[in-house]
Amino acid sequence: MELLEKIKDKKAKIGIIGLGYVGLPLGLEFAGKGFDVLGFDLDERKIKFLKEGKSYIKHINSEKIKKAVSDGKLNAISDFSKISGMDAIIICVPTPLNEHREPDMSYVEGTAITIAKYLRIDQLITLESTTFPGTTEEILLPLFEKAESAGNNGFKVGKDFYLAFSPEREDPNNPKYSTSTIPKVIGGVTQKCLEAAKALYDQIIVETVTVSSPRAAEATKLLENIYRSVNIALVNELKMVFDRMDIDIWEVIYAASTKPFGYTPFYPGPGLGGHCIPIDPFYLTWKAREFEINTKFIELAGEINTYQPHYVVEKAMEVLNKFKKALNGSKVLILGASYKRDIDDMRESPSLKLIEIFNERGAIVDYSDPYIPTLPKTRKYNFDMKSIELSDSSVREYDLVVLSTDHTDFDYNMIGDNAKLILDTRNAFEKNNLKSKNIYKA
Ligand X SMILES: NC(=O)c1ccc[n+]([C@@H]2O[C@H](COP(=O)([O-])OP(=O)(O)OC[C@H]3O[C@@H](n4cnc5c(N)ncnc54)[C@H](O)[C@@H]3O)[C@@H](O)[C@H]2O)c1
Binding site for ligand X (CB under 6 A): 17-23, 40-43, 46, 92-95, 107, 110-111, 128-130, 168, 170, 172, 275-276
Least Å distance, CB 255 to ligand X, is 31
Q: Is 193 a catalytic residue?
A: no
Residue 301, classified by CB atoms within 10 Å of its CB into exposed (0-12), middle (13-18) or buried (19+), is buried
What's the CA gap between 42 and 28, in Å, rounded? Answer: 19
What is the SS3 assignment for 430?
A: helix
What's the CA gap between 385 and 148, in Å, rounded? Answer: 48
Neighbours of 197 (CB within 10 A): 30
Q: Residue 281 CA to chain centroid, in angstroms?
A: 13
400 Cβ contact list (under 8 Å, min separation 6): 316, 319, 320, 330, 331, 332, 333, 420, 421, 422, 423
The enclosing H or E element of 330 equals none
User: Given 276, 312, 400, 423, which residue is catalytic?
Assistant: 276
Q: DSSP H helical segments within 165-290, as ranges?
A: 191-202, 214-244, 249-256, 281-290
What's the CA gap between 181 and 367, in Å, rounded? Answer: 35
The vertex-23 CA angle with 56 and 175, nearest 5°, equals: 70
DSSP strand pairing (36-40 vs 123-127): unpaired
What's the CA gap between 441 and 439, in Å, rounded? Answer: 7
Residue number, nearest CB to ligand X: 20
Which DSSP category does 386 fall into?
B
Torsions phi, psi for 366 (to 5 deg): -125, 170
DSSP 41-72: -S-HHHHHHHHTT--SSTTS-HHHHHHHHHTT
What's the CA gap between 31 and 68, in Å, rounded? Answer: 6
Residue 393 contacts residue 411 (beta carbons within 8 Å): no
Torsions phi, psi for 250 (to 5 deg): -65, -45
106/294 with CB nearer ligand X: 106
What's the CA gap between 1 and 200, in Å, rounded? Answer: 13
Residue 201, classified by CB atoms within 10 Å of its CB into exposed (0-12), middle (13-18) or buried (19+), is buried
Which DSSP category does 88 fall into?
E
Active site residues: 276
